[in-house]
């Protein structure tokens, strides 16, 4: 049986944010086609990566989610939907996804490199 990782809860949060991002274009009555495609595609990608990280963790999944979060932060200006309601959704979710991904990477790095080693006790 597979052991649940403590950090998987951050992937679950990213999954919930991705689902919100995926359906958010329906909340935006006058969103541009570019914004709808960007929010939906980014939401689907984050959801797939988060599900993959929950069931079969690899650090590249978190790095990719971090990059997707950064993409969501800058995409309103690069794709031309700045100063719209879609921009607020994109930036808000992007900052949160990037934060959760960076936090998970940091927690795993800390556990692997900075955790104190246990002294080996002699067997009786």
- Any idea what DSSP says for residue 3? P
What angle separates helix 8-23 from helix 85-109, to the nearest 10 degrees? 170
Higher pLDDT, 86 or 123: 86
Query: What's the mean pLDDT when you consider all of the chain?
Result: 86
Nearest alpha carbon to residue 58 among 116, 114, 11, 117:
11
- What's the confidence (pLDDT) of residue 29? 65
Model confidence pTM above 0.95 = no
Q: Where are the domains of the chain?
A: 8-112
Above 70 in pLDDT, residue 52? yes
Q: What are the DSSP calls for 74-90, one per residue?
A: HHHHHHT-TTSHHHHHH
Q: Give 85 or 91, the one with higher predicted confidence.
A: 91
Q: Which of 29-38, 58-67, 68-77: highest mean pLDDT?
A: 68-77
Count how many residues are written for the chain: 124
């Amino acid at each position: 049986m597979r052991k649940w990782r403590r950090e998987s809860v951050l992937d679950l949060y990213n999954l919930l944010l991705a689902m919100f991002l995926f359906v958010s274009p329906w909340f935006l009555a006058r969103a541009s086609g570019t914004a709808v495609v960007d929010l939906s595609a980014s939401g689907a990608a984050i959801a797939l990566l988060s599900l993959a990280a929950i069931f079969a963790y690899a650090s590249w999944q978190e790095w990719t989610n971090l990059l997707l979060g950064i993409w969501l932060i800058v995409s309103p200006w690069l794709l031309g939907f700045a100063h719209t309601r879609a921009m607020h959704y994109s930036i808000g979710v992007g900052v949160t996804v990037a934060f959760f991904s960076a936090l998970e990477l940091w927690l795993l790095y800390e556990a692997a490199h900075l955790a104190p080693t246990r002294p080996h006790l002699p067997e009786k």
